[in-house]
Amino acid sequence: MENMIDTSSGSSFVPVEPFEIIVFGGTGDLARRKLLPALYHRYCDGQISDDSRIIGVSRSDYTRSEYHDLITKCYHEFSDDVSFDQNLWSKFLELVYYVKIDVLDNDNWKVLKNNLSSSNELIRIFYLAMPPSMFSKICVKLDKVGLVNEKSRVVLEKPLGTDYESALKINEGVGQVFDENNTYRIDHYLGKETVQNLLVLRFGNILLEPLWSNQAIDYVQITAAESIGVEGRGAYYDNAGALRDMVQNHLLQLLCLTAMEAPASLEADDVRAEKIKVLKALKHITLEDVNQNTVRGQYIGGNKENNIFSDYLTDVGSKESSTETYVAIKAEIENWRWAGVPIYLRTGKRMSSRRSEIVIQFKPVPHSIFGDTPVKPNKLVIRLQPDEAVKLWFEVKEPGAGGMRLKTLPLNLSYADNFTVRYPDAYERLLMDVVRGNLSLFMCRGEVESAWQWVDGILNAWRLSDTSIDKYNAGTEGPDKANDMLSKSNHLWS
Ligand code: BG6
């Protein structure tokens, strides 16, 4: 099963081998809110044994027990775990250690070494929840102090660089210490249940495939809308923007899974090869067409349901910024399957609601026999979060008198109605996959670099273009221009 997506059925948990995970950025948001809770949940599920070890690393001064207090407080603050078990949590904390290291100094690496197993048999995971500029430096240091062995893996948290050149440098720097098979580039969207389900929906059912192309599909929309703002991450976000923060990784990964050919198998190399083909077939956006094919916006204050939202500049503490908090793109995949089918991507902060979904808008019937009665084209909505569901919209005859009246109704496969298992956070699955050595749900070097090449084209065109950013009110659907971009082709956002 090495490098294979796990297809075992049921929700039984097969224990993973004992491991030690060293989390750089151990006091940061990601570690406290996501990584430690994810490990705790898998510990409760019996998947992680008591001889595993979790070591938080950061430059803050904490004793082990202060670190325990910190993560306990955070767990209670952010988790809605109704079945919290104090006894299990205390047992879990016995696995958790803390080491203070300033990664730019030479101090304390020995202390870290002393906290690691002396046997070369234990799987050793270095999780770099740190700014990407640190990735290569940490890897080189780990190597120098002799902490990297054959059982070592490195996990790189996004963003993987700020453009193609910087991503290349990171990949080369990290690659000097860890080979590609031991490098896990996380895109947490790939760990979401509904995103994994895209593979099953497309390749576990025969019904969709004959329709899955420009023969029957009019256009595709991929949306990741958020109602939250920059949430205290202003310093990072203002240098990144929505294109780098969401499109380069999450949205392009969703696009790949939606558009790729069936891989030969679920093995990492097969899946990755198909994704790279999609990324390489994306038509580059240039200065000539950037205004027709992209819209970027920034939120200003707004008021929704008695909530008053501040504007972006206040949120990031700046007087001026041209960073986009919203982006919509009309993308095209230049290959036989997708030629002529616009793929609309959009994401934004402080939008009216939180909603991630993929909409496949089918073409109208070639000829209507229903006279003046409008016949709506079919639509498949794959709701990734929240209210996870797959909905297929059909035309149906409305029963009763009054002639042939058509109604549009969905076949609704709602997760809430069909599944009762605990809904795992994306990081749970991904962390366990790192331990199992399963790379299928992680991005390879080629994917990251190809995605940056496409995104760099847009960034450059924006830099050279004379159009300014559009403002939109917080709590709305983003700039009006995004509607205009679609209406020019007689298309509508769902
Ligand atoms: C992260 C981005 O990768 O994804 C954040 O950096 C964003 O800005 C988050 O809020 C969205 O993730 P999710 O799982 O809440 O959709």
Per-residue pLDDT in tens (0 to 9) along the chain, 494 residues: 345 555 444 567 899 999 999 999 999 999 999 999 999 999 999 999 999 999 999 999 999 999 999 999 999 998 877 788 999 999 999 999 999 999 988 888 988 999 998 888 899 999 999 999 999 999 999 999 999 998 999 999 998 999 999 999 999 999 999 999 999 999 999 999 999 999 999 999 999 999 999 999 999 999 999 999 998 899 999 999 999 999 999 999 999 999 999 999 999 999 999 999 999 999 999 999 999 999 999 999 977 777 888 899 999 999 999 999 999 999 999 999 999 999 999 999 999 999 999 999 999 999 999 999 999 999 999 999 999 999 999 999 999 998 899 999 999 999 999 998 878 899 999 999 999 999 999 999 999 999 999 999 999 999 999 888 999 999 999 999 999 999 999 999 99
Residue 233 CA: nearest ligand 1 atom is 8
Residue 250 is a catalytic residue: yes
Residue 59 burial class via C-beta count within 10 angstroms: exposed 0-12, middle 13-18, buried 19 and up: middle
Q: 393 and 379 in contact (C-beta within 8 Å)?
A: yes
Q: Where among 185, 218, 242 does a domain terminate?
A: 185
441 Cα to the center of ligand 1, angstroms:
17
Write down the pLDDT at residue 118. Answer: 85
**Residues lining ligand 1, judged by CB closer than 6 Å?**
158, 226, 245, 356
DSSP string across 393-435: EEEEEPPSSSSS-EEEEEEEEEHHHH--S----HHHHHHHHHH
What pTM value is reported for the model? 0.95
Residue 192 CA: nearest ligand 1 atom is 14
Write down the pLDDT at residue 4. Answer: 52
Closest C-alpha residue for ligand 1 atom 14? 189
Do 160 and 197 share a domain, yes or no?
Answer: no
Nearest to 381 by CA among 407, 400, 355, 399: 355
Write down the pLDDT at residue 305. Answer: 75
Do 203 and 139 share a domain, yes or no?
Answer: no
Flag whether 280 is in a domain.
Answer: yes
- Other C-beta atoms closer than 10 Å to the C-beta of 317 total 10
Flag whether 111 is in a domain.
Answer: yes
Write out the E strands in 172-261: 183-185, 217-225
Residue 158 CA: nearest ligand 1 atom is 3
Q: Where among 154, 185, 216 does a domain terminate?
A: 185
CATH number at residue 71: 3.40.50.720
Closest C-alpha residue for ligand 1 atom 4? 246
354 Cα to the center of ligand 1, angstroms:
11
Nearest to 58 by CA among 104, 115, 99: 99
Do 263 and 153 share a domain, yes or no?
Answer: no
Do 88 and 26 share a domain, yes or no?
Answer: yes
432 Cα to the center of ligand 1, angstroms:
20
Q: Where among 129, 164, 185 does a domain terminate?
A: 185
Do 166 and 227 share a domain, yes or no?
Answer: no
Residue 245 CA: nearest ligand 1 atom is 6
What the block records as the tokens of 47 is 């998947």
Residue 228 makes CB contacts below 8 A (sequence gap 6+) with 349, 350, 354
Which uninterrupted H or E stretch holds 361?
strand 355-362
Nearest to 175 by CA among 450, 445, 430: 445
Do 178 and 210 share a domain, yes or no?
Answer: no
Q: Angle between the 268-281 and 252-259 helix axes, to the nearest 10 degrees?
A: 100
Do 175 and 256 share a domain, yes or no?
Answer: no
Do 211 and 359 share a domain, yes or no?
Answer: yes
140 Cα to the center of ligand 1, angstroms:
29
DSSP state of 12: -
Q: Which amino acid is at 304?
A: K
What pairs with residue 183 in β-bridges? 154
Gap between the Cα atoms of 66 and 87, Å rounded: 19
Number of domains in the chain: 2
Residue 426 CA: nearest ligand 1 atom is 14
Residue 240 CA: nearest ligand 1 atom is 6
Gap between the Cα atoms of 8 and 202, Å rounded: 18
Give 3-state DSSP helix, strand, coil % of the chain, rounded to 5.
35, 20, 40
What does the radius of gyration of the chain's CA atoms come to, in whole angstroms? 24
- Other C-beta atoms closer than 10 Å to the C-beta of 49 total 13
Distances in whole angstroms, Cα of residue 330 to Cα of each of 134, 270, 286? 34, 28, 12
Residue 196 makes CB contacts below 8 A (sequence gap 6+) with 5, 190, 429, 441
Closest C-alpha residue for ligand 1 atom 2? 245
Distances in whole angstroms, Cα of residue 443 to Cα of each of 2, 155, 252, 464? 16, 11, 11, 30
427 Cα to the center of ligand 1, angstroms:
12
What the block records as the tokens of 171 is 């990949």
Flag whether 8 is in a domain.
Answer: no
Write down the pLDDT at residue 378. Answer: 98
Write down the pLDDT at residue 79. Answer: 84
Write down the pLDDT at residue 8. Answer: 45
Do 200 and 170 share a domain, yes or no?
Answer: no
Flag whether 4 is in a domain.
Answer: no
Residue among 250, 284, 367, 491 flagged as catalytic: 250
Write down the pLDDT at residue 9. Answer: 46
96 Cα to the center of ligand 1, angstroms:
26
Q: 463 and 285 in contact (C-beta within 8 Å)?
A: no
Nearest to 247 by CA among 180, 179, 331, 177: 331
Gap between the Cα atoms of 290 and 461, Å rounded: 6
Closest C-alpha residue for ligand 1 atom 15? 226
Do 444 and 305 share a domain, yes or no?
Answer: yes
Pocket test for ligand 1, best of 78, 187, 188 (most atoms within 8 A of CB): 188
Do 65 and 208 share a domain, yes or no?
Answer: no
Closest C-alpha residue for ligand 1 atom 13? 189
Pocket test for ligand 1, best of 190, 226, 249 (most atoms within 8 A of CB): 226
Write down the pLDDT at residue 383. Answer: 98
Gap between the Cα atoms of 331 and 343, Å rounded: 5
Q: 34 and 26 in contact (C-beta within 8 Å)?
A: no
Do 196 and 175 share a domain, yes or no?
Answer: no
188 Cα to the center of ligand 1, angstroms:
8
Domain extent for 215: 190-487
Gap between the Cα atoms of 93 and 145, Å rounded: 27
Gap between the Cα atoms of 403 and 397, Å rounded: 9
Residue 107 burial class via C-beta count within 10 angstroms: exposed 0-12, middle 13-18, buried 19 and up: exposed
